[in-house]
Structure 1
């Protein structure tokens, strides 16, 4: 969007009225990254004044067994549902659209355009993916979404620069608010200890990868690194269900390939692949049990990683491949960057952290400096401020 068409004024005079906010997204019990993100953001936003409502995106086959915070359902493929959702969203002061290409109906999720362009209230767009080399249709969709919204929130500086340099979005139309993370202080004395967590009496170092599984996660390369770690006898925990979209299309093909990789490398005594989807208290304890978090992702394009944010917020040293979000966050000293698909480099980086205590402590110190701004409470505060600003801007302009 050019400067002449930008609707967002960065510093308007903010009203004392807390705006009502509707969040359009997938939402639990759907299990995906956007649903988890929106649930955590809702929990913090709802602690302040101003009504917060969820409009849950779901497939026709999914059940509507949602909580009272869900004020409407957008059933993909249903025109009547889409029309009803537009009416519901227009009852709020501000709408926040969570966007991934795969969650809305139509090719590349293009059905979201009708909704976004029909809204009469100030709107915030949160793109979880900003592709460096989109297809023409993907580019067209994101261009129109940006034009339809008053403000774009990216979660990284990398995504912000991509929108400016590759998509021509005016910088005054964008703000950066990081992906939120668990406040681990909340769970430090929690009684729940997941079965995945090694016993405190277990002296074996713990390497952890977690999240929804599917091709591109790069876990096969991490498994290939484990034979070279045998002298340290680590436990490499891979915790996560197969992503629902991957499961629907390919079944458990990827998970089975990982099991075969474990057998081929003869590391069944080191690698534990667990198909669990963890709630926040269990996830917090699991992350805290790790000596190092490993993100072996294949993609050179990933601008946002909730797993990376959680690891840093928990003060865990990180070894990650060189995707943009990792390069942005870890170069301050909280982790080590390795090339993609390089088991030898992963092994050497893991070995450094597990055998150099001072290095691990220094990484934890850097992570502790980053953590306060990443906690969900701080993130929600910035969303509240952004919502109040665009609501006030629209009122001021009219």
Structure 2
């Protein structure tokens, strides 16, 4: 029997802070915003853990990432609760097994309807990667993706029913911040043109091309300062140590741009990210991955109305359309430098780009995004319950 217009019980399966992970931050931001929506009871979380974390009261159980049995156990325990919908936040490297196939053990034992949110959509997946998304797509009530460019990939490559696919932007936290020039002064950057890149550092980020581009720009604009914000990705650090960062530091020294490039080697809080974005004149993503469908860091930059210079991966092309930034060639520092120089030398163009980016960015604030998710959750719960129950007023 379905009773409409009452608060619904939703549980997320994801990583969660204090684990340092973009997915954890995403989930925390979303559930915090959903707390404000009366049609959803305070969402709970099953945390995927790879270490000993001290979680808050939102966590109702943990799954040990590399323990296959814990996925089965968690699903069976969840079946005994009043949970009406499970939301699986999917990213490669989060779940145990071959490309994270332990998640399939979880859904095989789950008797509750679920939605899958895909944080990575690969154009050319391996057989195993393809199989996992295909099965999730078949068994999910809905599949959420964060960019329009992925819809065709999900239908053609993974065979997901297009009627199941929902596009909801990556959310961005809203915070009132000081004006750019005031923040620059506070951080000791007065009179500098700030270019920034933030996120967990790994070789795929193409930061060496960003540094080479800054060396080129600095020949004409000595006031330019490139901030590389963030620590080395934990998985990269575990396997290779700090070798990539050390190579970048050596490159800075070799090019003689120590005054134009600065590393902020730490895991940034949301407040720090927002402040660094606010004081930036240009946000740069020189990424090397040609198939990157979504980028949380780029979403943040759009959310705060930044002029963006990026390589043309699919998400950047979508976000920077209609004059919201400039696209450079992959692995091409001279192309990046030309874009940066053009923006710095045409302040009226920069100002117009900022206005256009901010217009899109406003739609990506977490309040708007959480409302879209809440509507989707309620609709999905009601549809699944109506299939087997008699509707009563």
Q: 1:197 to 1:209 in 2, by over 3 A?
A: farther
CA apart distance, 1:281:
1.6
| Alignment match, 1:6 | none
SS in 2 for 1:17: coil
Q: 1:57 is matched with which residue: 32, 48, 60?
A: 48
- 1:353 maps to 2:343: yes
- Structure-2 separation of matches of 1:259 and 1:215: 13
Q: 1:111 to 1:294 in 2, by over 3 A?
A: same
SS in 1 for 2:197: strand
- 1:30 maps to 2:19: yes
The answer (yes or no) to whether the contact 1:154–1:174 under 8 Å persists in 2 is yes
| Alignment match, 2:141 | 150
The answer (yes or no) to whether the contact 1:197–1:289 under 8 Å persists in 2 is no
Residue by residue over 1:274-316, the C-alpha shift from the partner in whole angstroms, topping out at 9 and shown as x without a partner, is 1121112221111100000000000001001111111111111
Out of 204-213 and 158-167, give the one that drifted further.
158-167
| Alignment match, 1:10 | none
SS in 2 for 1:216: helix
- Structure-1 separation of matches of 2:260 and 2:273: 21
Out of 245-254 and 210-219, give the one that drifted further.
245-254
> Which ranges of structure 1 fall in alignment gaps of 5 or more residues?
1-12
CA RMSD of aligned residues (A): 1.9
- Structure-2 separation of matches of 1:378 and 1:105: 33
The answer (yes or no) to whether the contact 1:99–1:125 under 8 Å persists in 2 is yes
| Alignment match, 2:152 | 161
> Which ranges of structure 2 fall in alignment gaps of 5 or more residues?
389-393
Residue by residue over 1:203-242, the C-alpha shift from the partner in whole angstroms, topping out at 9 and shown as x without a partner, is 1100001000001000000111122112312010001011
- 1:136 maps to 2:127: yes
- Structure-2 separation of matches of 1:173 and 1:42: 22
- Structure-1 separation of matches of 2:270 and 2:65: 28
User: TM-score with structure 2 length normalisation?
Assistant: 0.93
- 1:66 maps to 2:55: yes
User: TM-score with structure 1 length normalisation?
Assistant: 0.91
The answer (yes or no) to whether the contact 2:310–2:326 under 8 Å persists in 1 is yes
**Equivalences, count:** 379
Residue by residue over 1:87-124, the C-alpha shift from the partner in whole angstroms, topping out at 9 and shown as x without a partner, is 34332111110111211110101000011222211211
What are the residue-to-residue correspondences of 1:103-142 with 2, within 5 Å? 103-142=94-133
Instruction: List, as ranges, runs of 4+ consecutive aligned residues in structure 1 with deviation greater than 4 Å.
Output: 193-197
CA apart distance, 1:264:
1.5
What are the residue-to-residue correspondences of 1:1-398 with 2, within 5 Å? 15-49=4-38, 50-59=41-50, 62-90=51-79, 91=81, 92-183=83-174, 186-188=175-177, 198-199=187-188, 202-230=190-218, 231-233=220-222, 234-398=224-388
The answer (yes or no) to whether the contact 1:197–1:286 under 8 Å persists in 2 is no
Residue by residue over 1:314-365, the C-alpha shift from the partner in whole angstroms, topping out at 9 and shown as x without a partner, is 1110000000000011012111111111100100101111121111111111
- Structure-1 separation of matches of 2:212 and 2:66: 42
